[in-house]
Amino acid sequence: MKVSKILVLVFLAFFVMAGMLSATPQQAKQYLDYGNKYLKAKQYDNAIAYYGQSIKQNASTEAYYYMGVAYFYKNDKASALRSFQYALKLNPSNTAAKAMVAKLGGGAQSASASPAAQYLVTGHKYLKARQFDMAIKYYQASANVEPSAQAYKYMGTAYYYKGDMENAKAAYERSLQYNPNDPGVRSVLAKIGGGNGGGEARISQQMGVHPLLLAGLFAAAIAVLFLF
């Protein structure tokens, strides 16, 4: 009897450890990607469920931010605010999350919202409308007030869609100065021949993700801006 109980405990411990080991950044990215697809389709409950799974695998500011977006468009402002605040805890320089916290009246957090965040949000609106010159103007204004990886990343995206690859590369490379470990930016740089894109293959190997998948995940995240 004692032996059978010990065996049961051993098997339980094995499955718990297996579950812990299975939680990887790669799986978190895959769940994030599915969440973005459902967000794009305006299936907010499904999007939230996948973002939740992504967070369980590997909590990230991106997963919490997009979960907040899903809650926001579902009109659950309280849950949206909590998600945006968690996104800020993981990355205090997430200016988009700062702007949403300020918009939702996040108490003390709202004081942290800067003009840079407002410029960034306005830039997103112009990027969504495919008014790339105006988007670039506001992303540059955001970077002038408070330089950030996000401002330069989305500036690079605006230049990219405008067809100005030289300035796109310059903006993406500036973004990497503030967040050197952004695999999506490195993937795009590798694609367009940016000087700092060479490290992308190494990062993709470490994460166990193919470089094309990283580029696809980055494209999916950018595509969310064109939804609303």
226 with 170, same domain?
yes
144 and 219, same structural domain? yes
Closest CA to 140 of 126, 114, 120: 120
Q: What is the pLDDT of residue 77?
A: 86
Q: Based on the fold, state whether residues 140 and 208 are members of the same structural domain.
A: yes
Cα–Cα distance for residue pair 23/83, rounded to 1 Å? 21
Give the SS3 label for residue 226: coil
- Pair 114, 146: CB distance under 8 Å: yes
Q: What is the pLDDT of residue 95?
A: 85
pLDDT attached to residue 8 = 44
The pLDDT value recorded for residue 137 is 95
CA 83 → CA 52, 98, 185, distances in Å?
A: 11, 11, 24
d(CA 110, CA 105) in angstroms, rounded, equals 6
Q: What is the pLDDT of residue 160?
A: 93
Over the chain, what is the mean pLDDT?
77
pLDDT at residue 120 in the model: 86
Listed residues 94, 126, 145: the one ending a domain: 94
| Residues 86 and 60: beta-carbon distance below 8 Å | no
H helical segments located in the chain: 2-22, 25-40, 44-57, 61-73, 77-90, 95-103, 115-128, 132-145, 149-162, 165-178, 183-192, 199-207, 211-224
Q: Which domain holds residue 189?
A: 114-228
**Whole-angstrom distance, CA of residue 122 vs CA of residue 118:** 6
The percent of residues in the chain predicted with pLDDT above 90, rounded, is 34
Q: Which CATH number fits the domain that encloses residue 152?
A: 1.25.40.10
Query: Within this chain, do residues 220 and 130 fall inside the same structural domain, yes or no?
Result: yes
Is residue 147 a part of any domain in this protein? yes
Whole-number Å distance between alpha carbons of 133 and 137: 6
In which band, very low, low, confident or very high, does the pLDDT at 223 lie, cut at 50, 70 and 90? low
Give the whole-angstrom CA distance, residue 164 versus residue 57.
Answer: 37
Looking at residues 189-214, what average pLDDT do you find? 51
CB atoms < 10 A from the CB of 151, how many?
Answer: 30
Q: What is the pLDDT of residues 33-77, one digit of tens each?
A: 999 999 999 999 999 999 999 998 888 999 999 999 999 998 888
Distance CA 221, CA 62 (A): 9
Q: Could you tell me if 86 and 174 lie in one domain?
A: no
Do both 146 and 180 map to the same domain?
A: yes
Domain-ending residue, one of 51, 66, 94: 94
121 with 181, same domain?
Answer: yes
Higher-pLDDT residue of 21, 195? 195
pLDDT of the residue at 39? 92
My answer on whether 72 and 136 are in the same domain is no
Range with the largest mean pLDDT of 1-10, 17-26, 35-44, 173-182: 35-44
Residue 222: pLDDT band (50, 70, 90) is low
Query: Residue range 199-226: average pLDDT?
Result: 45
What's the total number of domains in the chain? Answer: 2
In a domain, 148, yes or no: yes
More confident residue, 119 or 222: 119
pLDDT digits (tens, 9 = 90+) for 153-187: 999 999 999 999 999 999 999 999 988 877 788 88
Percent of the chain's residues with pLDDT above 70: 71
Q: How confident is the model at residue 107 (pLDDT cuts 50, 70, 90)?
A: very low
pLDDT at 221: 52
**Confidence class for position 18, pLDDT limits 50, 70, 90:** very low
pLDDT surpassing 70 at residue 108: no
